């Protein structure tokens, strides 16, 4: 069970004690991601995430790493489409070290011009590496196609052109706009002294003020059908078929998770068993569902020899249509629920998993369901509910395609 607090400046803090662990995970969650950027500053959220580790007024980048390594801890960060998270995981006895370092990088980073220029080159290399990884690139092409002109379709890493315009002034301005109390959630999970931790968080983060800024509001994107292809002379074609999914916060996401498990969520799934195991046409094939504010997607991915692309594409649609027509059996639903339950509960076993669940949900939705509430929602899903949603999601007239490789656009 978690407890929620509000610091003196309005920052929300969620705390959950986890029995039987010696670790504590602390996450600073900020509503800053590529969805809240535009074509002028695309990539600034991710750029800033990198820059906050480059040194503060009292610590160099090396000292930040050395101090957390010295206590056997971890410090890291990630940027997504809707949020950025900076987090630590340490033994409970070193929670003060973690708090001190996290608050230092958030509040006191120097953002020097030499560091900015160095990190810009590092991120451009990251973009180049991504471009050379077609199995990753194809998912960005799908998101770009699916959400059209919406910022939700922008790449998280940004572009070299946008990165060229980012400087200390623009980074400071972005901090003042996004790193504000109404747009920050702090999540703590594991073994820790709760009242003491909340008091120390208030002392360290109380100086963050909103000024004239408010938390950004996500747009409501329109789903865009179409085909997005990047021709590359690769040995494989990497293909995605994207369907309109369920928006974040809708309980139908739990039903879609079960549908996903059955269709392509594991080695026993329909697509894996049919197209990979039985026919041997692909090395990798799977499906996944992603949910955002006011938007969602359900995507099937496959990687194959270019000569097999047309056949695999047709087979995927054949299996999706068959699934839609024949529906889900009670046995399939039971297995999918067991798979969901196992994956979900194992993901919450450590302090880091609990921290992630708390922080992301509170930041993006403003509330957190307990594990018991979530499992009850899943248990209550019926065959008719799953079949009704499958019929709605699998729509032959409303889909997007992305591909990377030697592929003929006319196939789609």
Q: Is 107 helix (H, G, I), strand (E, B) or coil?
A: helix
Distance CA 85, CA 136 (A): 21
Distances (CA, A) of 211 to 6, 176, 214, 215: 18, 8, 8, 11
Token pair recorded at residue 130: 């991504």
Q: Which residue has the tokens 């894996």?
A: 272
Strand order in the sheet with 399-405: 226-231, 399-405, 237-244, 295-304, 284-292
Q: Which two tokens stand for residue 87?
A: 């987090």
Q: If you search the block for the tokens 């928006």, which residue do you land on?
A: 247
Q: At what angle do helices 252-264 and 309-326 cross, to 10 degrees?
A: 130
Q: How far is CA 88 from the centre of its chain?
A: 18
Q: 219 and 350 in contact (C-beta within 8 Å)?
A: no
Cα dist from 409 to 132, 309, 321, 404, whole Å: 21, 11, 22, 11
Distance CA 282, CA 32 (A): 37
Q: How many CB atoms lie within 10 A of CB 26?
A: 28
d(CA 327, CA 322): 8
Nearest Cα residue to 287 out of 325, 327, 256, 329: 256
User: Which residue is associated with the tokens 């004239």?
Assistant: 212
What is d(CA 197, CA 312) in angstroms, rounded to the nearest whole number? 54
Residues identified as active-site: 49
DSSP summary character for residue 146: H
Q: What is the DSSP letter of 213?
A: -
Q: Rounded to the nearest 10 degrees, how much is the dihedral formed by the CA atoms of 38, 42, 48, 50? A: 160
Q: Which of 109, 108, 53, 107 is nearest to 77 (CA)?
A: 53
**Contact between residue 173 and residue 254 where contact means Cβ atoms under 8 Å apart:** no
């Amino acid at each position: 069970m978690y407890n929620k607090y509000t610091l003196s400046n309005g920052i929300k803090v969620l705390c959950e004690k986890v029995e039987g662990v010696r670790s504590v995970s602390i996450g600073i969650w900020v509503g800053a991601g590529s969805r809240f950027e535009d074509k002028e500053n695309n990539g600034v959220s991710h750029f800033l995430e990198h820059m906050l580790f480059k040194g503060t007024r009292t610590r160099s980048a090396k000292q930040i790493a050395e101090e957390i390594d010295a206590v056997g801890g971890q410090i890291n960060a990630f940027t997504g489409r809707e949020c950025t998270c900076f987090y630590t995981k340490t033994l409970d006895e070193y929670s003060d070290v973690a708090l001190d370092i996290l608050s230092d990088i958030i509040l006191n980073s120097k953002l020097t011009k030499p560091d900015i220029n160095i990190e810009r080159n590092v991120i451009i290399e990251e973009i180049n590496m991504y471009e050379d990884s077609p199995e990753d690139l194809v998912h960005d092409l799908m998101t770009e196609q699916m959400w059209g002109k919406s910022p939700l379709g922008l790449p998280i890493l940004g572009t070299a052109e946008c990165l060229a315009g980012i400087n200390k002034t623009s980074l400071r301005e972005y901090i003042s706009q996004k790193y504000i109390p109404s747009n920050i959630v702090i999540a703590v999970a594991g073994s820790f002294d709760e009242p003491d931790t909340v008091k120390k968080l208030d002392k360290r983060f109380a100086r963050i003020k909103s000024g004239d800024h408010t938390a950004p509001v996500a747009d409501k994107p329109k789903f865009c059908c179409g085909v997005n292809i990047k021709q590359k002379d690769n040995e494989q074609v990497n293909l995605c078929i994207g369907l309109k999914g369920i928006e974040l916060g809708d309980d139908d996401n739990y039903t879609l998770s079960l549908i996903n498990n059955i269709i392509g969520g594991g080695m026993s799934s329909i697509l894996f068993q049919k197209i990979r195991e039985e026919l041997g046409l692909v090395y990798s094939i799977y499906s996944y569902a992603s949910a955002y504010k006011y938007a969602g997607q359900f995507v099937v991915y496959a990687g194959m020899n270019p000569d097999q692309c047309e056949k695999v594409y047709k087979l995927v649609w054949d299996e999706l249509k068959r699934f839609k027509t024949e529906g889900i059996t009670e046995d399939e639903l039971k297995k999918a629920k067991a798979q969901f339950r196992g994956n979900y509960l194992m993901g919450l076993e450590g302090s880091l998993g609990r921290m992630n669940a708390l922080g992301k949900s509170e930041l993006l939705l403003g509330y957190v369901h307990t594990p018991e509430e979530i499992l009850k929602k899943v248990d209550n899903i019926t065959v008719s509910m799953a079949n009704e949603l499958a019929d709605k999601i699998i729509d032959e007239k409303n889909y997007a395609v992305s591909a990377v490789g030697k592929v003929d656009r006319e196939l789609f």
